[in-house]
Amino acid sequence: MGRQYGFSLLELLCVLAILSILAHAGSAHFLSVSQNTKDKNTLKNEMKRLADALTQARQLAVISGQTSFLCGGLNCDGVWSSGFTLYQIEPNSGAEKRYRQVIFEPLLAVSWSGFPVKKQQIEFRSNGLSGYQNGTFEFCLGAWQAELILNQSGRFYLTDPRGFYSQDFYSQDSYSQDSYSQDSYSQDSYSQGMGGGQCG
């Protein structure tokens, strides 16, 4: 009868240890990729919410003939990371009429750098212009960072999020310029590689 060969207990333990390490490494990588994808999608959605509010503010100003205000924070304290408020002032009573309030994702960081002066709110006049204000919103979440650039004409542009991956984030099929056409008093485009700050 031929000699039978098998594995010793030590060899089996070594194999199990190696398999455990490989499984842990693969799981950690999968979770990291999943979190990055989630952060990227969240960044896209939150940028769209602000873009929609800018479009609405411009529409309200043009249609009503009254100035619209978009301010950072739920109490207009200039803290854009917490969200924003869209409102107008009633001409007769002077009361504040709020049209939209948004609370951003808690881990999202949003900053506004305005020119020529930094204000806590953006004004849209009845002619559709942004009150001679222009500047940049910077969005940061996890490994991702992108900008929304507003010019004095009331138009704005969004950049692709930049991070660990190089694929285009906004596709023409899912997020096209048709969403912000001249009919809605705004014209948007998406550009790659535009400058801006860095996520902290």
Per-residue model confidence as pLDDT tens digits over 60-110: 999 999 999 999 999 999 999 999 999 999 988 889 999 999 999 999 999
pTM for the full predicted model: 0.67
DSSP 3: P
- What pLDDT shows up at residue 54? 95
Phi, psi of 149 (to 5 degrees): -105, 120
| Within-domain flag for 154 | yes
- In a domain, residue 92? The reply is yes
Other CB atoms within 10 A of residue 42 CB: 18
Enclosing domain of residue 149: 40-191
pLDDT tens digit sequence for 79-91: 999 999 999 999 8
Please report whether residue 105 resides in a domain.
yes
Backbone angles phi and psi of 48, in degrees to 5: -65, -35
pLDDT value at position 175? 36
In a domain, 156, yes or no: yes
Those residues with Cβ within 8 angstroms of residue 53's Cβ, 6 or more apart along the chain or in another chain: 70, 84, 86, 100, 102
Is the predicted pLDDT of residue 183 greater than 90, yes or no? Answer: no
CB 83 within 8 A of CB 137: no
Q: What's the number of domains the chain is made of?
A: 1
pLDDT by residue (tens digit) across 142-151?
989 999 999 9
Q: How confident is the model at residue 186 (pLDDT cuts 50, 70, 90)?
A: very low
Burial of 186 (0-12, 13-18, 19+ CB in 10 A): buried
